[in-house]
Amino acid sequence: MNTWDSLLLGLSFALQPHVLVYCILGVLLGSFVGVLPGIGAMAAISLLLPLTFYMSPEAALIMLAGVYYGAQYGGAVASILLRLPGTPQSAVTTLDGYPMTQQGRGGIALFTAMVSSFSGSLIGIVVLVMLAGWLSGLATRFGAADYAMMMIFGLVAASTIGASRPAKGFAMITLGVLLGCIGTDVNSGAQRFTFGHAELLDGLNLVALAMGLFGVAEVIANIRNPERQSIAARIPLRSLLPTRDDLRRLPLPILRGGTLGSFFGALPGTGSTLSAFLAYATERRLARQPERFGKGAVEGVAGPEAGNNAASITAFTPTLTLGIPGDPIMALMLGALIIHGVQPGPMMLEARPEMFWGLVASFGIGNLLLILINLPLIGIWIAMLRIPFNYLYPAIIVFLCLGVYSVRGLAFDIVLVAGIGLAGYLMTLAKLSPALLLLGFVLGPLIETNLRRALLIARGDPMVFLERPISAGFVLASMVLLLVPLWKIWRRKRAAADF
């Protein structure tokens, strides 16, 4: 079957009325619950799961997938307007999205996020359609050594994000990795830093970490901040529309972010997070005035949003063809398939082409719906900022606590948020970037297990990292990233000495 036939098959499947209804239901629900920070897709999908018992597996998958990517549109709202990211990838969106809100350009940031999400998804779909076979095999070509070095490269590339000095960036990443050590060690089964709390055996709750570092810290810092109280006064109506200058800046970051995301999404586990951070780092490095970043640069919203949405589309290939879920939400969707006796695996594309291509077609339809629904809603979300902060922040506190609770129903996690919030507020005072901490927290455990696994398989020979071509490539790229700034400093000093 060629690409064109596959697409037609998919479209004819996805456009059946009952499938279309489920797709619409999914994206609508997704984009509304996505606005609730931390809760988003997870709670909505758990809620819908029993319903899917009575649906065809194809329709169930299309609806749940709709919730999944729909929630990413909604998630941008909380990140940009309130600095409440529920995931590490939306933490990247806050870096420039929230400063834009503070400058009264929140509408433009939302517009940028929506358009970039939509375009990023389209790029993801195109890549998926053209390269489905290649993408599904990509994960088997990556060994433990390759994963370890790829993620180290990711950390090195991202280390300068949002930090005023390199030492601060590295410190935050290291702290994140250290926090990631909490819980059961995969390799030895040892229980590290759990101090007798079984609730910590699976590690710190990521949503609790994100909510404490961003949400709680932001609320504390702003309660008596007169600037925040007057934010509403600074939103003229026309700021909802981007200027020509804003629009001119969008296409290239979207294209780069989408391409990066499409590739990393096909590698299970960290696709969305890594793509968002790398897209941001790329834009900052390529920018003529990198100092604009972190202070409201539209490219800083566009690249990462395109990247993580493209990644969440291509991430369905390893999920469906290898059965590897990229995150807990994907795992939930896999569960929904297995309830119906559909076992994801390498035969998926051949055995159930209508499911695979129907899903791909539904991505297109769903994203089109999402942008049509969400663009007009920007005005309403912005109106939320007109609510005096005194009335808004107690609601933020209640909602973020429930968001944390919804992950696994443990009050323990909410108590943790208080401690993490304290740390987050202190970090705000010392101008330390919580986004990098989250990146280290997410990638750290993966780096550790893959590094140790690679050495174990190689019977302790560290040359394994240079012998495998993919791993060696990432080692080289990381060295270049680390050495180029040093070389620039050296050259500047020599130039100064020549005078």
Partner 1 sequence: MNTSITWRLALAGAICSVVLPATAQADWPSQPVRVFVGFPAGSSPDVLARIVTEALSERLGQPVVIENRPGAGGVIGIQQMLVSAGDGHTFGTTINGPMTTAQRMMDDTGFNVAEDIAPVTLLATSPLVLAVASASGIEDLESFIAAAGAEVDALTYGSVGQGSGAHLTAELFAAEAGVSMLHIPFTSYAEVTTSIIGGEINAGFMAPSAAMSFVEAGTMNVLGITSSEPFGQAPDVPLIAGNAGLSDDFRAELWNGFIAPAGTDEAIIARLSAEITEILSDPEVQERMLGMGWQVAPGTADDMADRIAADTEMWGAVIDRIEAQ
Partner 2 sequence: MQRDWPEVWGGLILAMIGIGAAFYAWQNYDLGTLRQMGPGFFPVAMGVALCGFGLIIALPGLWRRSEGVPFDIASLLLILAAVLVFGLALPRLGLVGTAFATVLIATLPAERRGWVWRGVLALAITLVTVLVFHVGLRMTLPLWPRL
Binding site for partner 1 (CB under 8 A): 45-46, 49-50, 53, 139-144, 184-189, 191, 194, 196, 198-199, 201-202, 268, 322-325, 328, 331-336, 338-339, 341, 343-348, 408-410, 449, 453, 456-457, 459
- Taking the complex as a whole, the smallest distance from the CB of residue 441 to partner 2 amounts, in Å, to 12
* Closer residue to partner 2, CB minimum distance, 134 or 193: 193
CB of residue 440 vs partner 2: minimum separation in angstroms? 9
Told to check if 329 binds partner 2 by CB under 8 A, we report no
How near is the Cβ of 261 to partner 1 at its closest, in Å?
21
Q: Is 105 exposed, middle or buried (0-12, 13-18, 19+ CB in 10 A)?
A: buried
Contacts of 248 (CB under 8 A, 6+ apart): none
> Is the distance from CB of 13 to CB of 361 less than 8 angstroms?
yes
Tokens (6 digits) for 216: 């709680």
Return the half-sphere exposure (C-beta side, CA atoms, 13 A cut-off) of residue 129. 24
Q: Which does 439 bind (CB under 5 to 8 A by kind): partner 1, partner 2, none?
A: none
Residue 392 CB, nearest distance to partner 2 (Å)?
10
**Burial, 104: exposed, middle or buried (Cβ in 10 Å; 0-12, 13-18, 19+)?**
middle
Residue 345 contact partner, candidates partner 2, partner 1, none, CB within 5 to 8 A by sort of partner: partner 1
The candidate with the shortest Cα–Cα distance to 218, out of 78, 39, 356, is 78
Distances (CA, A) of 231 to 274, 278, 322, 382, 388: 32, 31, 48, 11, 9
To partner 1, the closest distance from the beta carbon of 450 in angstroms equals 10
The CA angle 170-171-172, to the nearest 5 degrees, is 90
Q: 129 or 322: whose CB is closer to partner 1? A: 322
Least Å distance between CB 453 and partner 2?
10
Binding-site partner at residue 391 among partner 2, partner 1, none, CB < 5 to 8 Å by type: partner 2
Residues 186-205 interacting with partner 2 (rule: CB under 8 A): 187-188, 190, 192-193
Torsion sign, CA atoms 398, 399, 403, 408: positive
Task: Say whether residue 399 binds partner 2 (CB under 8 A).
Answer: yes
Phi, psi of 129 (to 5 degrees): -65, -45
CB 472 within 8 A of CB 480: no
In angstroms, what is the minimal distance from the CB of 481 to partner 1? 27
- Which three-class secondary structure state does DSSP give residue 192? strand
For the record, the structure tokens of 98 come out as 């929230």
Q: Which residues bind partner 2 (CB under 8 A)?
A: 33, 36, 39, 43-44, 47, 165, 167-168, 170-171, 174-175, 177-178, 181, 185, 187-188, 190, 192-193, 216, 219-221, 223-224, 390-391, 393-395, 397-399, 401-402, 405-406, 409, 411-415, 417-418, 421-422, 425-427, 429-432, 444, 448, 451-452, 455-456, 459-460, 462
